[in-house]
Amino acid sequence: MPEVTGRLKVKFDIQKVSDKFQKRDIVVTIDETTQYPQHISFQLNQSKCEDVNNIIVGEVVKVSYNLQGREWNGPQGVKYFNTLEAWQICKV
């Protein structure tokens, strides 16, 4: 189970995708003391959306996540998408 530690940069509002599904995106900055800090986007789903309510932007967090990928066959052909689904986030 991969995990990363960084500073919470952004937490977006919860998006209700359907009656049975909601998601919330967050951004965590890693390697912030280097010349090229990395801003990593994670997705929280369902009840996990509430896990960042008590975390303030700017606090250091540890995120445990699953890497998910999917194929989409659209009018322009096949495309591939990745999602980093956070299943646990906590203050460090």
Domain with 70 in it: 3-91
Question: What does the pLDDT look like over 51-92, one tens digit per residue?
Answer: 999 999 999 999 999 999 999 999 999 999 999 999 999 999
Assess contact for 63 and 71: CB atoms under 8 A: no
Residues pairing with 86 in the sheet: 65
> What pLDDT does 38 receive?
97
d(CA 88, CA 2): 11
Q: Is residue 1 very low, low, confident or very high in pLDDT (cuts 50, 70, 90)? A: confident
Q: DSSP code of 12? A: P
CATH of the domain at 69: 2.40.50.140
> What pLDDT does 12 receive?
97
pLDDT higher than threshold 90 for residue 20: yes
Assess contact for 3 and 63: CB atoms under 8 A: yes
Six-digit token pair at 61?
């967090």
pLDDT higher than threshold 90 for residue 9: yes
- Tally of domains in the chain: 1
Question: Which among 49, 47, 38, 50 has a CA at the least distance from the CA of 9?
Answer: 38
